[in-house]
A = this chain, B = another copy of it.
């Protein structure tokens, strides 16, 4: 069930994206599922609600969202791309056990600098890999 369809619609229109049924549903999904899903995960989750949905539409839509700055792609696992609705600069933690990608709330000294060693920065990407808090609790060695 879509709760805040109006705000989803506004978000699209503010970015100059026509708010179609497919796009509304994909953005809505990303808004409420902040675990950085893959294109395939989005497709699988929405195909019940949007039965005519195609993988191609998911990929197309995600590419449009990316170009318009509505999301950032994450290259962390080396296989599938994960999508992050949070476009503010932040870091991630990838758990090798449960495979979750967790947002981190840490400060990076270079976040605001705009340059490093003479190179002009436009994007920041930082992630750690290891065992997450939950998996540590569950007694993984």
Contact = CB atoms under 8 A, between A and B. Distances in A.
A77 interface: yes
Contacts of A117: 93, 104-106, 133
A127 to B, nearest CB: 5
A109 to B, nearest CB: 7
Contacts of A15: none
A95 to B, nearest CB: 7
A122 B131 contact: yes
Which size class do A's interface residues fall under? 35 or more
Given A75-B78, A77-B75, A123 B130 contact: yes
A76 interface: yes
A124 B128 contact: yes
A108 B128 CA distance: 12
Given A78-B73, A118-B133, A125 B127 contact: yes
A53 interface: no
A110 B104 CA distance: 12
A121 B116 contact: no
